[in-house]
Amino acid sequence: MTARPSANDIEILRYEDRYREPSMEVLRKSFFVNENVCIGTEVNRSPQAQKDLEQLCLEVAIGGVSLIARHKPTGTIVGVSFNVLQTPSGPDDSNYFEQFRDTKCTTDSSRALMQYMITMDAKVNLFERFNVTCLLEIMFLATLPAFTGCGIATQLVVQSVRLAEQLKSGEAVPLVAAGASVTSDRPQLVSALWTSRISQRVGAKAGFTVINTVPYTEFVFEGKPFTERIGPEHPFSTLVVKNI
């Protein structure tokens, strides 16, 4: 790249299966190697753990509420937001992330990352606290390294909130593959786990409210707290929400 792209060079699109491979490339080149919990659980060192989490994203994408960022001059997919609609699970039922951890994860690293997500979600019951029956969770957010600092993550987050608003009002429906069933659940809240100071700034800019802050010292993988691998620059993660 010889020049930084402008905001006008980027368009945010609904994820479709034809974008599968370039979207996975964004995860491989950015999220899996640079995201803090991936570092804390050594997903960044485990190609198989990364494959496990690619499968998670592909399953989530079937729900039809994920977004991509496309660089219009080149057609390159430069950012992704894998989003998922969540509803409360029964008192005796495992939620989707627990089921994926137990049945699809083949490595300790991928299981540890899923456990982090499960633990963070369990600390605050958003459904009860906000009296909602469905929320849109921004699960994995990533931008290609060459395009960081261009506001792409912020655009993806803002448009994810906009999509949630459209789903709630009925103006939009999940963009599912042909033959797949469309859920009737409509989100009433948007949530995310921000795992770095960078994503935390993005969330603040997009108007999210911090509900819980948890230091990485609370999470341990193979005898070491996450902080030993992540370092002091990003000491905690946050659970955030935005009402829609």
What's the whole-model pTM score? Answer: 0.94
Does 64 map to a domain? Answer: yes
Does 186 map to a domain? Answer: yes
pLDDT digits (tens, 9 = 90+) for 46-84: 999 999 999 999 999 999 999 999 999 999 999 999 999
Does 170 map to a domain? Answer: yes
> What is the number of domains present in the chain?
1
- The CATH number assigned to the domain holding 89 equals 3.40.630.30
Residue 2 is predicted with a pLDDT of: 46
Does 1 map to a domain? Answer: no
Regions of the chain where pLDDT drops below 70:
1-4, 177-182
Expressed as residue numbers, the domain containing 170 is 7-243
Q: Which residues contact 186 (CB under 8 A, 6 or more apart)?
A: 134, 167, 168, 170
Q: Which residues contact 112 (CB under 8 A, 6 or more apart)?
A: 41, 221
